[in-house]
Homo-oligomer: A and B are copies of this chain.
Amino acid sequence: MKSKKEIIVETATNLFAEYGFEKTSVAAICEAASVSKGLVYHHFSSKDEILIAIYEQSTQDMMNLSSNDSEKKANEKLSEIINAVFQQLEDNKLFFKLNLNIMFQPSTRKILETQIKERATQLFIVVKQIFNEIDKMNSDVLSYVFISEIDGIALSYLSSFEEYPLQEMKNQLLKKYKND
């Protein structure tokens, strides 16, 4: 059974994702979680702290996604990443929006500066290790390009109000990295 603390985090995640961090009041979280304000502040020292907990949790989840199966070839690993990201993108669209919201809201960006840097660094390392196997001399640029390509599609997809050809974009990417 879920603890009240877990319920609070989960509820807050949903509300932050739907309305944005700034526009979600602690009171709203309490009501949605059927919990008193006192309890929220018993578990978290501030509203910011809830956000930090959510973000760190999601970083953890993200890292657990990338399998470290070193048996596989580089291009297989890239395909795997692409598949995993696009899967997540479809399944947790709202959650990805939250991440962008956090990243580009100056106030939240400041709150999470440390954690954002940490995640970006780790992500880059994972990708670069793969490209090292492919082309050690240019692994830096290749990594930047790879990450940008995924980010770009995500951005277009998440910012679009209308239907977005996500599958087609994914296939384009898969094709490009198939023979690396």
Contact = CB atoms under 8 A, between A and B. Distances in A.
A131 to B, nearest CB: 14
A148 B159 CA distance: 11
Interface stretch (A49-57, A59-67, A72-80, A113-121): A113-121
Please report whether the interface of chain A is mostly helix, strand, loop or mixed according to DSSP.
helix
Contact of A22 (B22, B144, B148, B165): B22
A128 interface: no
Given A120-B160, A148-B149, A104 B113 contact: no
Interface residues of A, number: 40
Contact of A144 (B151, B158, B165): B165
A156 interface: yes
B148 A117 contact: no
A148 to B, nearest CB: 4
Nearest to A146: B152
B117 A145 contact: no
Given A22-B105, A148-B152, 13 more contacts: A18-B106, A19-B106, A20-B22, A20-B105, A103-B159, A104-B158, A105-B105, A116-B159, A120-B160, A141-B172, A150-B152, A151-B155, A152-B153
